[in-house]
């Protein structure tokens, strides 16, 4: 036996090892480019709230749209069992809207159709995500987590005006 023995790996197995390593490198590069160059971020909790009192105090007592500057908005959305409050938001085209969403009851989802906005809404936690609306139209938002019998009727919309 020599000191420099090589590993004897079947060529078929070696091919799949190389393919697996290349896929890992490709996935890492894609996540890095999406996060750094394209500004895509994963929605996450920005604050904790008491789900029993969230609808009585603070910005969620009167959910809706608040204009910060021309073209910059904050939207406070309360996801309750089988309804979103507010059901409708209207912004001009070219607006950037930061959505703050929470729930006082059960876990919900919040997905805005035709955008990359999709987040989980957990009671006691405020989740945030920013969307830039570049085209006029109606963008429905729907619940993506089964929340009970009325789940199919849980929707709203963002109206982007020209």
Query: What are the residue boundaries of the structural domains of the chain, listed by start?
Result: 1-40, 44-161
70 φ, ψ to 5°? Answer: -55, 120
Residues of the chain under the 50 pLDDT cut:
none
Q: Which of 127, 135, 125, 98 lies closest to 110 in space, CA to CA? A: 127
pLDDT at residue 116, rounded to an integer: 84
pLDDT at residue 158, rounded to an integer: 97
pLDDT at residue 2, rounded to an integer: 54
Decide if 123 contacts 106 (C-beta within 8 A): yes
pLDDT at residue 106, rounded to an integer: 94
Q: Which residues contact 127 (CB under 8 A, 6 or more apart)?
A: 43, 44, 45, 46, 100, 101, 102, 110, 119, 120, 121
Q: Taking the model in full, what pTM does it have?
A: 0.78
pLDDT at residue 57, rounded to an integer: 85
Structure tokens at 139: 């963008």
Looking at 3.30.70.870, 2.30.30.140, 3.40.50.2300, 2.60.40.420, the CATH number of the domain 44-161 comes to 2.60.40.420
- Rounded-to-5 percentages of helix, strand, coil across the chain: 20, 40, 40
Decide if 12 contacts 88 (C-beta within 8 A): no
- Taking only the tens place, the pLDDT of each residue in 13-54 is 999 999 999 999 999 999 989 888 877 777 778 899 999 999
């Amino acid at each position: 036996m020599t000191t420099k023995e090589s590993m004897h790996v079947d060529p078929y197995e070696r091919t799949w090892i190389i393919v697996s390593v290349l896929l890992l490198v490709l996935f890492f590069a894609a996540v890095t480019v999406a996060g750094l160059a394209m500004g895509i971020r994963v929605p996450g909790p920005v604050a904790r709230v008491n789900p029993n009192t969230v609808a009585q105090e603070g910005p969620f007592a009167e959910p809706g749209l608040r204009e910060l500057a021309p073209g910059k908005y904050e939207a406070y959305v309360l996801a309750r069992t089988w309804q979103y409050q507010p059901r409708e938001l209207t912004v001009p085209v070219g607006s950037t809207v930061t959505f703050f969403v929470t729930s006082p009851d059960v876990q919900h989802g919040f997905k805005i159709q035709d955008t990359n906005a999709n987040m989980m809404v957990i009671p006691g936690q405020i989740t945030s995500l920013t969307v830039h609306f570049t085209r006029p139209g109606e963008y429905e938002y729907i619940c993506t987590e089964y929340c009970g019998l009325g789940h199919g009727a849980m929707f709203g919309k963002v109206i982007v005006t020209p």
